[in-house]
A and B are shown apart, each in its own frame.
Chain A
Amino acid sequence: MFVEDPSGDAPDNKIIHQILKSRMKKLFTLTFMVLAMTLIYATSIYAQRTISGIVTDDSGEGLIGANVLEKGTTNGTITDLDGSYSLTVADGATLVFSFTGYTNQEIAVGNSDVVNIQLDAGELLDEVVVIGYGTQSEKEITSSVVKIENKDFNQGPISDPSQLLQGKVAGLQVYNRGGDPNGSSVIRLRGISTVGANAQPLVVVDGIIGASLDNVDPNDIENINVLKDGSAAAIYGSRGSSGVIIVTTKSGANKDGRVQLNYSGQIASGTPVNGIKVMTAPEFVAAGGTDLGSATDWIDEVTRTSLTNNHSISASGGSGVTSYRVSANIRNVEGILLNSGFNQFNTRINFSTRALNDKLRINFNSSFTNKDQELGFQEALRYAVIYNPTAPIFGDASPYPFNSEQFGGYFETLGLFDSFNPVSLIKQNSNRGNRKEFNYTANLNYSITDNFSANFRIAQQNNKFDNKKYYATTSLFRGGATSPIRKGQAELYNGNSSFDLYELYGTYTDSYGSTDLTLTGGYSYQQENFDDQFFSIGDFPNNDLDFLNAIENAQDLLNAGLIGANSNASPDSKIIAFFGRANVTINNGLFVNASVRYEGSSKLGEGNKWGIFPAFGIGADLTRYLNLDNVDQLKVRLGYGVTGALPAQNGLSQEGRALVYDGANGGASTTLTRAANPDLRWEQKRETNFGIEFAQDRFSATLDLYNRDIQDFILLRTVDIAEFGVDKRVENAGSLNTKGYEVALNYDVLNTDKVRYNTGLVFSGYSTTLNEYVIDAEMRANLGSPGQNATSMIRIKEGDEIGVIWGPVFNGVLEDGSPDLADVNGDGQLVVGQDKALDENVDFARLGSGIPDIELGWSNQISIGDWSINAFFRGAFGHSLINTFRAFYEPQLSTQSSYNYMNTALREEGLTTARFSSLYVEKADFIKLDNFTIGRSFDLKNSNSFESLQLSITAQNPFVITNYTGTDPEPSLVDGRDVLSPGIDRRTNYFATRSFTLGVNLKF
């Protein structure tokens, strides 16, 4: 349910809102006072004692990370590396011990202060899962939540933690096309969750909502929980609308003063996997290309074998009620493109203690990251593909009289559009960046009674980033080497972003007979700020100085109008919410969860700022009600949730203007650049999820089916310029429906003392339909220059699925070298003009879909004694990619004989006109061995200084099976920022990398 005034009657709505607002305020104050008073009252009453002990498995080994919970409360801890724990509980308490794959045990605390326990490998999986503002036991979950432990993560040199999850969670798409070390992955849960808002899932790191994964060292991660459906994510409100990824970092373990040290290191070597086949110099000359007398493999000249190394060290320990973990990570990553990569230093501290008779739990987490980036120029890869292979690298080998000095000694083919010597480009210019990120969160949790705890959290994230580019005076590429008047350009960019979070919530748990109840309620305040500055200046005397640091030498200072400057600051972008949730467990077999969130945003129009977003879920453990022999688990669950989504931009409900100067007349006034939309309201996602979890003997399976409606999606759309003064405005523009399924299967093939083999398969598929749109149909995604502007390749249409590639069908080559396009509708008339794309009689066809039908991940874990083998395959099927490299550069254009031509298996002999058609739309089905690791562990308990050693060798991306002729067959889910235009492989992508890694893990 979404509360708003259907008549759009703003004043009434406003009054209601004000009443609500003041009530909320009162309610909030009241809650807080009650809370505070109870707090004062509660502390002195209850007698307390500290219980400690060791939790072991059936072989007597300590279990690390087992959960120990005081029954009926939220009071709990987890075991450390030895399996030991310490917990302060009330007299007469019962302790609940749980661990993945083991049967839960409950022990009433008697007189002893020591409770040691051995857990049996259980049939029933029961595990604590992190959900918003609390945890739940896995069986109580009524929505689609997947937990991935660090042992299941992808191995190898992973610098972006999202790649740990690639292929591991059904329905979670993680694609970093090409694998630029400085690029970040596109992450999607269940495909398109929104059109105009942020489609990346919300990341929560140790309670910090909206944290960045960039500054988390994969080695520091304990586990990751993925909340997939709307009912699970609803408690996070609009920011959880695209799903939630909850990352928990490793916490300290109390070792009674002893410090546990851990080192892990990796050295990796990467090589480009060149999927782009171009002509060699002799082939090019034979094909009629302009011969410049040399032979250069340009791709080889701008790429390298990269070397990456990565060292992490952590220390954890503690004594009494205090524990800590500190870690540091140094990461030196080289990209396969020359001058690309980064150097990163990252530290993290997790500290926890107790005070006030152990009633107050204090957690403090903080991390700092410094990342020096060598961003290089990806354009070098593009120009390496199309640069004349007979051109020399250096000017002294030019067949024409050539002034090498002007270009820093390099050769350039003058007189061409969009053609630059890639070696000169990458070597003469510099593109560096730096990011500094500092985060902290302080969490205070006070157990007011055994049943009631209050939680207060402050978190802040601060980011500073800059980018400095210098284009040399001798660089043709943006340096103006041929300009007699203005050579060289320096560009300086810096920005800051910050995020503040204040949250206060209470949790109440109780039991009534066989019914357990947990209530959660609270308030959340989130504020984002952003500002940036850009400055560019050029015209330098020569390349002698580092002009990024000596911009005062720019001749632009003498020459009007050539200095570029820009700055922006965001408004205080706020989200304020009140939320509540009830979790009810009946007979330990029927589970009901319900939540509601009342949320407001500063981005929306006055009167439309607030929305109510409810969620509801029910689940049943059927093994308790049905007589199912041999079945260990059979759970069904159904969830429904509504979440809101917000546009990324600020100021949409207000008018925007730009100052225009009027030449020599010396006046300036403003013109409209953005029409206000005060009616802008919440985009809403309503999602229903049905799931079945089944386990029998060595086999387990999970099936999820979902239906997702996105209503009032927010999009920049064309409006009547006569009325609005501008032709585009951000509006609530239509609705989408997605239906999908997700399956996860797991089987213990072998499980003997010596040999274990476990295999798991996850696969999923979905399809998204455009149900309503402000106009009937639209072409999107322009192919681009040279010559293929006004060439849109993606059609969206009411009633149609999203991702349709729409264009003419290639039939062969005509005598004049132009493509023979098919008369698709057979009416005897060939209608193939781009501007007729939406006409009834157009001879266009659906050339493919950018969205895969099925995506799968197949993991295999084998252990033989001390050896382990891990093979992970990943694939996607049914999607197509538009190979834009081929679309521009494979036809043999007589007018452009000084560029190289693509030379794939799909090349059409004699085609001399570049025009978009089905010829460039390729099926991109693939299956790849994503990750292959062999490891060996050594028990060093007998040594004086070490506990254990693990060695591993990992191959990433060792092979791919695909017919796609481009660099990377992975789906392209988004074109720039346009989620409605999937399936385009642009010319700006990085080349895919294959790497081999040697890893060491040493415990002291």
Chain B
Amino acid sequence: MNTIVKFIIIASLLSLQFSCTDLEENLRGEITNDISIEGISTGGSGGSADALSGAFSQLRSTGSAGHFGYYSVQELPSDEMVIGAKGGDWYDGGVLVEMHKHTYTPTNGIIGSAWNGTYAAINTCNELLAGDLDINQKAQTRALRAYFYWRLMDSYGNVKIITEPGSDAPQVSRAEVFAFVESELLEALGIPAVSADMDLTESPLGQDNNPYRINRYGAMGILAKVYLNAEVYTGVAAYDKAALAASFIIDSGVYTLCGDGCKVPNLGKRPSVDSDPDELEGYAAVFAPNNEGNPEHIFVIEYDEVSAGGMFFAMMSLHYSSQFTWNFDSQPWNGYATLEEFYNSYEDGDKRKKANFIVGPQLDFGGSAVLDYASDDGDPVLNYTPFINELEPNSLREAGARPGKFSYKQFGRANMDNDYPIVRLGDVYLIRAEAMARMTGDWSQALPDVNIIRARAGVSAYSSITPEEFLAERGREMFQESSRRTDLIRFDKYNDPWWEKPASDPHVNIFPIPFDQLQASNGTLTQNPGY
């Protein structure tokens, strides 16, 4: 009997040791609510810790300087960048060829990825705005969100404007998105409109010079870009406002062009290669791995190989064997290159030609030739040629000048250090030049600002200029800054034929709404015309 009692007691105790219908799920290894940590020191240039980290970090996660995101959709359909299919390599189901030939369709994964990245960024901004922010933080986040909506509107035209996390909203026209972007930026700036006598003394945006955040000059710079393209977006031009916004920045005197004497040590120098300069000066310094704090930077995306990854230009562009030139810790992928015609648009004395491209026979760290055992021409020495034999199927492995504007440093990692400009003074000069010319219908109005840029590049001043020459000049200056597609559309050149690309229909000037998102939207999204 005693044993039975024991048995019952034991059995009862055992069944009590777990709670018998409790199904609570405690995710002990995961973060399930929004937290923010301020004041973590991760080295670098300092700056102030704030609650906006998550939102601004989205500038990186949207692929602004990586493959298969925003950078790719802006660069690959333009006439400045291409990825040739090298046999089977880099064919990737034809999505890259389609980007080049403007035959992209709604299922193109790059177009889908850029859409997803941008909306994820908007969601982060919306979550932040739903919480407690001070007036400056709120204005910055709204300006940042407006910038992301500008990207969406510029790329896809007709999109949903979501301003609260977890809510849905109808798809609206490109003009309506334009109006939203404009009003958000104006409200962030604290002014009713951009005008000659606008007063920013009450602006919630500050004047402090932290280019990783948005101050009033950064917001004004975004607004200038938006106004410059207003006619494309809405049919109504706003060049006067673009010019005023650009002048506001230039006239403030806060920023200066990085010219002679503006220099940084050359982190890419090979000690045994004498032709490598010790320092990078002027234009080259604006984009160097150690470019933080450059006087030309107004609003930039911070990249850092440790704490702010996401820039992969070395991997994306360089040939496998170029690893030995810069002693990278990873092997590059041999993808992005420049079209020959675009490369040839630079005259030889143009400092930007040397800064922007890598061409010719390649030497390694010790000064010996870099070898490619699978070289197409039988000569194992790696030699980048501006000439590209064909787009597909057998583009040569060494073909194409490689982008090097965001220059590479010795012992670099796959993640690079160079900060990436969204608004910089050189761009602002060219915005004002073009806006003045278009506003007046007189392209000579562009000359003063254009010649400032040309002087910095070490080329002679223009005495007169045509729209075509202006576009070429802007192309040379803005190479690799995700600007070319928008510029070509504004100049009505995007549909022209060029190398390995036939003329394209104007419906391709906005991308298709990604197929899987269209499917997932249950009919709340309508496809753009022509797709």
**Chain A residues within 8 Å of B, Cβ to Cβ:** 21, 24-25, 28, 32, 36, 39-40, 43, 290, 292, 355-356, 360, 400, 413-417, 444, 446, 456, 458, 480, 482-486, 500, 502, 504, 523, 525, 527, 531, 560-561, 567-574, 576, 600-603, 609, 650-651, 653-672, 717-727, 774-776, 778-779, 786-792, 816-818, 833-839, 888, 891, 893-899, 912-915
Contacts and interface: CB of A to CB of B under 8 A. Distances in A.
B58 A895 contact: no
A894 B107 contact: no
Contact of B302 (A574, A664, A671, A718): A664
A560 B54 contact: no
Contacts of A572: 25-26
A666 B212 contact: no
Given A657-B32, A662-B53, A663-B308, A836 B105 contact: yes
Given A666-B47, A835-B95, A602 B374 contact: no
Contacts of B15: 32, 502, 504
A285 to B, nearest CB: 14
A896 B376 CA distance: 8
B306 A895 contact: no
11 contacts: A40-B4, A290-B374, A502-B14, A560-B43, A657-B34, A663-B212, A668-B40, A718-B516, A725-B166, A894-B87, A913-B87
A661 B42 CA distance: 9
Contacts of A662: 52-54, 56-57, 212, 302, 307-308
B93 A835 contact: yes
Given A576-B21, A656-B30, A898 B373 contact: yes
B49 A400 contact: no
Given A415-B380, A561-B307, A576-B21, 11 more contacts: A39-B7, A415-B374, A656-B31, A662-B307, A664-B44, A664-B304, A665-B50, A787-B85, A788-B92, A789-B92, A834-B107
A897 B374 contact: yes
Contact of A400 (B33, B57, B89, B371): B371
A664 B307 contact: yes
B17 to A, nearest CB: 8
A654 B25 contact: yes
Interface in B219-247: none
Contacts of A670: 31, 34-36, 54
Contacts of A669: 34-37, 51-55, 128
Contacts of A525: 18, 20
B460 interface: no
B115 interface: yes
B97 to A, nearest CB: 9
Interface residues of B, number: 135
Contacts of B323: 482
Given A39-B8, A651-B30, A898-B373, A788 B320 contact: no
B321 to A, nearest CB: 4
Contact of A484 (B167, B321, B365, B371): B365
A598 to B, nearest CB: 10
Interface string B392-407: 0111110000000000
Contacts of B22: 574
B33 A657 contact: yes
A355 B92 contact: no
Nearest to B292: A664
Interface stretch (B118-126, B261-269, B492-500): B118-126
Interface stretch (B184-192, B251-259, B329-337, B448-456): B329-337
B89 A896 contact: yes
Contacts of A915: 88, 91, 393
B30 A415 contact: no
A664 B34 CA distance: 21
A929 to B, nearest CB: 38
A671 B125 CA distance: 10
Contact of A486 (B51, B292, B319, B329): B329
Interface string B165-207: 1111100000000000000000000000000000000000000
Given A414-B371, A665-B48, A569 B29 contact: yes
Nearest to A676: B32
Nearest to B124: A671
B88 A833 contact: no
A723 B106 CA distance: 20
A664 B21 contact: no
Nearest to B56: A662
A664 B329 contact: no
A602 B395 CA distance: 55
Nearest to B376: A895
Interface in B385-443: 393-397, 411
A659 B36 CA distance: 8
Closest 5 CB pairs of A and B: A664-B44, A914-B88, A662-B53, A561-B306, A725-B123
Contacts of A567: 29
B382 interface: yes
Contact of B31 (A24, A659, A721, A722): A659
Interface stretch (B272-280, B281-289, B344-352, B519-527): B519-527
Contact of B168 (A39, A722, A778): A722
Contacts of A609: 23
B501 interface: no
Residue with the highest number of chain A CB atoms closer than 10 Å, among B56, B89, B330, B376:
B89
Contact of B92 (A446, A484, A790): A790
A415 B54 contact: no
A817 B365 CA distance: 38
Contacts of A667: 36-40, 49-53
A665 B34 CA distance: 19
Nearest to A665: B47
A458 B90 CA distance: 57
A668 B37 contact: yes
A603 B20 CA distance: 16
B490 to A, nearest CB: 27
A666 B105 contact: no
Contacts of B1: 40, 43
A895 B397 contact: yes
B521 A720 contact: yes
A600 B49 contact: no
B470 interface: no
B47 A664 contact: yes
Contact of B14 (A40, A458, A726): A458
Contacts of A719: 520
Contact of B374 (A413, A600, A718, A776): A413
B154 to A, nearest CB: 17
B243 to A, nearest CB: 33
A836 B98 CA distance: 11
A818 B306 CA distance: 43
B47 A817 contact: no
Nearest to A605: B25
Interface in B75-128: 85-95, 98, 103-109, 115-116, 119-120, 122-124, 126-128
Contact of B88 (A25, A43, A723, A893): A893
A834 B18 contact: no
B379 to A, nearest CB: 12
A831 to B, nearest CB: 10
B470 to A, nearest CB: 35
B289 to A, nearest CB: 14
A664 B45 contact: yes
Nearest to B31: A657
Contacts of B36: 667-670
Contact of A896 (B39, B123, B374): B374
A791 B92 CA distance: 6
B372 to A, nearest CB: 4
Nearest to A40: B4
A913 B91 CA distance: 10
Contact of A663 (B31, B42, B395): B42
Contacts of A600: 21, 23
Contact of B306 (A415, A446, A560, A775): A560
Given A561-B307, A660-B57, A790-B95, A666 B517 contact: no
